[in-house]
Amino acid sequence: MEDVAKGSSFILDDSVWKPNVTGDVPEETGSSSSTQVQPRQLRAARRHTKTNARQKQHSCSSCYARFTYISELKQHERIHSGEKPFLCLICHARFAQKGTLRNHERTHTGERPFLSHLKRHERSHSGDKPFSCLICDARFAQKGSLRNHERTHTGEKPFSCSHCDARFAERSSLKTHERSHSGDKPFSCLICDARFAQKGNLTDHERTHTGERPFCCSHCDARFTQRSHLKKHEQSHSGDKPFSCPICDASFAIKGNLTDHERTHTGERPFCCSTCDARFAARRNLKRHEKIHIG
């Protein structure tokens, strides 16, 4: 029993183990009530010992993060260094964390081992949104989505770029931003050689091959390959023209149309024909002109 007391630096009594603040080993008193160890007392001692042993003593030299284990610190430091030592043998994508590589490899193998992911997915069918914001009435199917939303209220941006001063509320936004520094374009088109930094841009591009136009206007029959194009188009129905020319009284529903208009004042013609010397202020005028050469 003395070994247990020494190993834990706890004083025994008949109800609970109390920390020995002096650090001295308690003496045997000969009383069974002061030395008998109950299972719950032993568990409490083990928890206390683990807590002390796992203090976050390893600190990052680049930020304020602290870690219990040196291995955790090394993983974290790759965020700052940009090091990606884990290589996919199939597509040659690289990752900072081994776990991220394992998750990525499943996109090749088709393995889907996580029941928790299935449960989260099933909420997309059931419409169940058990996670609610305490500030507004928003509800979410995923806890992570709630956390991201809450940062719109707090203004918190915990994810910082290691290359510039940009900060982000979501980790995914940081990863997308960091590709602007690295030039990494992991998403490739299966039909042509185009590559993209963001998966959404690849999806938009693929529609130029398939002709798919999934975004339809609720006011007319117009359809678009990108949601942003639909939003611009819908402004033509609303009658709202928030973009006004600083030189004349012209106003426009779409910012791009204002830009084209301003060139009528400046004389700028940045769009040039690859077949002849013709130049145009608007891209659509160039495309109309190029049909002359196609015949």
Chunked mean pLDDT (size 10), the chain, 295 residues: 41 41 43 49 60 70 82 84 88 86 83 66 78 88 85 88 88 86 88 88 90 91 89 83 90 87 92 90 88 82
Residue (of 261, 100, 82) closest to 184 by Cα position: 82
**Overall number of domains in the chain:** 2
For residue 66, what is the enclosing H or E element? strand 66-67
In a domain, 38, yes or no: yes
Range of the domain at 6: 2-53
**7 and 100 in one domain?**
no
Q: In this structure, what DSSP letter does residue 125 have?
A: H
CB burial of residue 164 (10 Å; 0-12, 13-18, 19+) = exposed
pLDDT attached to residue 216? 92
**103 and 145 in one domain?**
yes
Q: Across-strand partners of 67?
A: 58
CATH code, domain with 159: 3.30.160.60
pLDDT attached to residue 291? 86
- Which residues, 6+ apart, have CB-to-CB distance to 23 below 8 Å? 9
**84 and 49 in one domain?**
no
Of the candidates 182, 199, 218, which is a domain's last residue? 182
